[in-house]
Amino acid sequence: MTKVSVRGFTISVDGFGAGPDQSQEEPLGKGGEDLHRWLVGTRTFHAMTGKGGGSTGVDESYAARHMDGIGAYIMGRNMFGPVRGLWPDESWKGWWGDNPPYHAPVFVLTHHPRASVEMAGGTTFHFVTDGIESALRQAKAAANGRGVQIGGGVSTVRQCLQAGVVDEMHLAISPIVLGRGEALLAGIDLSALGLAVREHTASENALHVVLARR
């Protein structure tokens, strides 16, 4: 059975996965970039962004697992880009340049149709207008036996948790307080969903917690 996972999803100590007032200049909202200090210095992130070097250790061990064994991705429109409403044109193709790091099909949840966008490196963005269940069916078929990763943002992860389809979730809890923004787990009973802590490891920049089905 295809495993559905959330990996490397970072939240603040007070539970926010993004700050307020998201924009093209601040895609993670005000203060949101600080959530990801654990990730940006790792060897894996450096390689994804075309740089050499990077840290090893606890944070790198979790970063390296981020895309291992994944055959397809699902993300929300807000994670794909800052454009809202009807697509004004075909110019926006994501935050990641001509060669996004996914190298697999990516299914983007949206209310507004758009033709698929094929990028370099094997990434193709498909735009799904009929909800999370449809996106999951398409992603599982495209994954061809490999895993499906829920890439974010907060609303998309919440939809998948509420639908009871997440088999495993890695949260990186960053030691910062945002005060407001998008709360990941508000009103969600992880225990009732069958998820329990399987492992936890702290680094200087984050507490890494992996939850999985009992």
Which letter, b or e, does each residue of 150-174 get, where b requires 16 or more Cβ atoms within 10 Å of its Cβ?
bbbbbbbbbbbbeeebbbbbbbbbb
Residue 22 confidence (pLDDT) above 80: no
Question: Per-residue pLDDT tens for 85-124?
Answer: 999 998 999 989 999 999 999 999 999 999 999 999 999 9
Confidence of residue 202 (pLDDT cuts 50, 70, 90): very high
Q: How far is CA 29 from CA 107, 159, 212, in A?
A: 23, 20, 29
Structure confidence at residue 26 as a pLDDT band (50, 70, 90): confident
Determine the pLDDT at residue 127.
Answer: 98
Give the separation between CA 125 and CA 117, rounded to whole angstroms.
Answer: 5
CB neighbours of residue 42 within 10 Å: 23
CATH 3.40.430.10 fits 4-15+31-82+98-213, yes or no: yes
- As a whole number of angstroms, the longest Cα–Cα distance in the chain is 46
What tens digit of pLDDT does each residue of 143-191 get? 999 999 999 899 999 999 999 999 999 999 999 999 999 999 999 999 9
HEC string of 176-211 equals CCCCCCEECCCCCCCCCCCEEEEEEEECCCCEEEEE
Q: Would you state the pLDDT for residue 51?
A: 86
> How high is the pLDDT of residue 110?
97
Domain ranges of the chain: 4-15+31-82+98-213
Alpha-carbon distances of 16 from 44, 148, 168, 177, rounded to whole Å: 24, 23, 19, 8
Encoding tokens for residue 103?
Answer: 């190298």
- What is the C-alpha to C-alpha distance for residues 104 and 106, in angstroms, rounded to an integer? 6
pLDDT at 193: 96
- State pLDDT tens for residues 48-63: 888 889 999 999 999 9
pLDDT at 33: 87
Q: What is the pLDDT, as a whole number, of residue 10?
A: 97
Give residue-wise pLDDT tens across range 130-140: 999 999 999 99
Confidence (pTM): 0.93
Tell me, what's the pLDDT at 145?
Answer: 94
